[in-house]
Each structure stands twice: as C-alpha cells, then as structure tokens.
Amino acid sequence: MGELVLAAKITHVPSIWLSIQPGRHYGIRRPAELALTEIGRRARQHGADTFLIADTHWMNSIGFHLNGKERHHGSYASHELPHFIHDLEYDYPGDAELAELARQEIAAGGQKALVHAYRDLGLEYATLVPMYFMNGDADVRVLPIGCNIYSSIDENRRIGEALMRAIQRSDRKVAFLASGSLSHAFPTNETAESLLNEVSSPLNRKIDMAVLDMWAEGRIGEFLDMLPDYNVRCSGEGAMADTAMLFGMLGWRSYKGQGEQLCPYFGSTGTGQVVVDFPVPSYDKI
C-alpha cells in the first residue's frame, strides 16, 4: 500500500526566483528558499518517490486535471511576470500511473477528472519554483494537479480524499504540496512595485496571522469552519483549492496535527506567503 509521507502548505511566488538572480533583489527571499529546500530534504528523508503538487497557477475552469506525462521537459517563461521568471529549464520524471489512479478515485467520488499527456502541456511556476529547491537532482517524480478556479471548498475536500485513496492503492511514497498563498489580494498596477515585500492590507495580514496561529495550535476544526469565508474575503488563490485538498488528504476535521512553520510569514506583491509542514497522521485514523 502506498503512503503519504509528507504534507505541506508552500509558497511559490516569483520573487523567490528573483531572489536567486544577480541584482538588487538578490537574497530577498532567502528564508523561503531555505524552507523549500528543507521540505525537499524532509521528503527525501521520508523516502518520497513522487511530489504530488496542487498547482494554483494551473487554473482550470471545468473539471479537475492531472498532468500525467511520463516526463516533464521544457523551458518556461511566466506569461504573468516574464521579467521575473524566464528561461527556466526543467526535466523531471512524471507519474502517469498515480495520475490514472487519482483520476479513477476522483471519478468514483462523483467528480470529473482527466489525465493529460499532451506534448505542449508544460509545468507552471507553482510547480517549477518549489521543484528547483526540492528536486534539484530530478530523481523524484512530479505529478501536478490543477486547481479549478470555480470549485468549492467542499469539492476540493473530496478531491483531497480521493487523492489519498489513490495513494493508498499505489506503491508510491508521496509528498503532497499545497502550492499557493494565504491571502492573495493583489494591489493596483500603479502601486504593485512598491508592495514587493508587503501584504495588500492590514486586515489580510491579521487574518493570515490568525490562520497560522490556528495551524500551530492544532485548531483545525476552527480553521475549516472559516475556510470558505477566508477564501472569499481574502481573495484566495486558485479558490484555495490547494489548502482544501491538503486538509482533505489529512482527514479534515479528524486531523489533530499542528503545523510547523518553517519560515517567517512574508508579503510579496500584496499576497501573504509562508511554508508550513503538517505531520502526517497514522493511516488508520484517516
């Protein structure tokens, strides 16, 4: 039986990529770089052979989609911020087998899912930025699942449960990455550059910090109660689908773990960012 060996909420903001490039912004995201690297180290320590990534920059409008290519290979430039991320070469093994099991389990739960292996279906930066720090030797498989921007929190809970069933049917040791922000309210274009290291509003920062307290203290039920409103009021990235999938995999309200924050909370062009590792419960409790 397969295992979920690691589950984490992670950042992927382009300013992390900017942080490793020569120039005046070099090093601005060093704590996030180190936190992503640590997640990769822990995944390997636990024997992970697949990174399953809920990618909030692979945004779908109908159904749920998995990139089931046997190998992910290409060069990436961000359409959103090409001056931040461009000429990013990548080459990772994929996981077609786990993708198909996930499709079957999502369908068994009454939802629509498709697996794709199209030549021109590349990876998005919510996968690529973390993989640069976590999977530098490219020896761990990479399986992205897109986030439906019109989905509900409950739908994504059920997707997370289906992904857990797929993992258990496989022979994989999986590290799951919820790759998305906390609050995600972008500033206006006229002010965006001045908020490179800021959150867009004091209210969003305050709510993000309250969420981190809930995670650290294991107040997961309280967090899940507010998650639908949190998504709406704080402009959730990708419908906060990645976060709902994460807790769906971990057992939703039955989850009793406490998140371990691996880097200081930070603002990036108005959005709230962090890296948190959630201990994986015993499987008989899921």
pLDDT for position 27: 97
- Mean of pLDDT over the chain: 97
- Mean pLDDT, rounded, for 147-156: 98
The C-alpha atoms of residue 130 and residue 143 are separated, in whole angstroms, by 13
- Report CA Rg, the chain: 17
Q: Report the share of the chain in percent with pLDDT over 90.
A: 98
Burial 98-134 (b: 16+ CB within 10 A, else e): bbbbbbbbbeeeebebbbeeeeeebbbbbbbbbbbbb
Residue 241: which pLDDT band, with cuts at 50, 70 and 90? very high
CB-CB contact of 16 with 36 (8 Å): yes
pLDDT for position 286: 37
pLDDT tens for each residue of 250-271? 999 999 999 999 999 999 999 9
Domains located in the chain, CATH noted: 3-285 (3.40.830.10)
Per-position DSSP letters for 221-249, written without gaps between them: HHHHHHHHHHHHHTT-GGGGHHHHHHHHH
Q: For the beta carbon of residue 24, count every other beta carbon within 10 angstroms.
A: 6
CB-CB contact of 171 with 6 (8 Å): no
- Mean pLDDT, rounded, for 186-195: 93
Instruction: Reply yes or no on whether the pLDDT at 159 is more than 70.
Output: yes
pLDDT for position 196: 95
pLDDT tens for each residue of 105-146? 999 999 999 999 999 999 999 999 999 999 999 999 999 999
Instruction: Reply yes or no on whether the pLDDT at 190 is more than 80.
Output: yes
Which candidate, 1, 124, 121, 135, places its Cα nearest to that of 70?
Answer: 121
Beta strands in the chain (DSSP E): 3-10, 50-60, 64-67, 71-76, 88-93, 113-116, 141-148, 173-179, 260-261, 266-268, 271-273, 276-278
pLDDT for position 32: 98
Beta strands in 61-123 (DSSP E): 64-67, 71-76, 88-93, 113-116
Instruction: Reply yes or no on whether the pLDDT at 285 is more than 70.
Output: no
pLDDT for position 283: 54
Which candidate, 109, 211, 116, places its Cα nearest to that of 155?
Answer: 109
pLDDT tens for each residue of 69-87? 999 999 999 999 999 999 9
